[in-house]
Amino acid sequence: MKKLVILTGAGMSAESGFSTFRDKGGLWEEHSVEEVATPEGWEANPHLVTDFYNSLRRGLAEARPNQGHYDVAALEQWFDVTVITQNVDDLHERAGSSKVIHLHGELTKVCSSRNPNDPRYIRTLGPDETEVPHGALAGDGSALRPWIVWFGEPVPNIEAAAAETSQADIFVIIGSSLAVYPAAGLIGYTQPGTPCFLIDPKEVQVPYGMKVDVIQQPASKGVATLTEKLMKMR
């Protein structure tokens, strides 16, 4: 069974109605990135940041996977699939994907503000826990914060993602502008000659010297087109 590695970005969840940074001109739900997605924003106004992520969780609870998510999950019938996602939602998991690496954290998890990546204090919220109260504490006594990789913070899962990409027989990018690093650099870890595909309705600047089969369609239609191509490569 061939190893298929799929990197997904904001465009993967766009059809599910879940808001993203990507098409907001630097805003996310009318807030600047600096206010709600940086350590400095958290230090300046933790109540605002807490309220912001509570509102995102409410939105995520109402969102549903789109056909693209389901079609990605269905590829596990024929390939050894690893999904590497830049998205903080859980739509891949809800659609049935069994191996998902989250590069930028998960909206459904909270952690210590003193050491966000200490596994002892990372907790998955229950289905009814969309609201984290102001002043809630993590297990180490520090303020409880979203388990989100904010701008300026290291990406703890990038090494695992790079290792998976380096072993890929086929590499696919869906809905990513390839503008946010280090995720955008993952394509550089593919072995020479590895077939690469890119699905996006917009024009995306492909890294110089890389041969990429571009499918200029939204995620749902694009993954269906991709599946037809992949069936000939099994």
Q: Is 102 a catalytic residue?
A: no
Looking at the chain, how many residues does it have?
A: 234
The Cα angle at residue 158 between residues 44 and 143, in degrees rounded to 5:
30
Rg (CA), the chain: 18
Point out the catalytic residue in the list 69, 92, 102, 104: 104
Q: Could you give the CA distance from residue 90 to residue 202 in angstroms, rounded to a whole number?
A: 24
Q: How far is 54 from 130, CA to CA, in rounded Å?
A: 6
145, 111 Cβ separation under 8 angstroms: yes
In terms of phi and psi (left: phi > 0; alpha: psi -120 to 50; beta: otherwise), the region of 19 is: beta
Q: Which residues contact 81 (CB under 8 A, 6 or more apart)?
A: 4, 5, 6, 72, 75, 97, 98, 99
Return the active site residues.
104
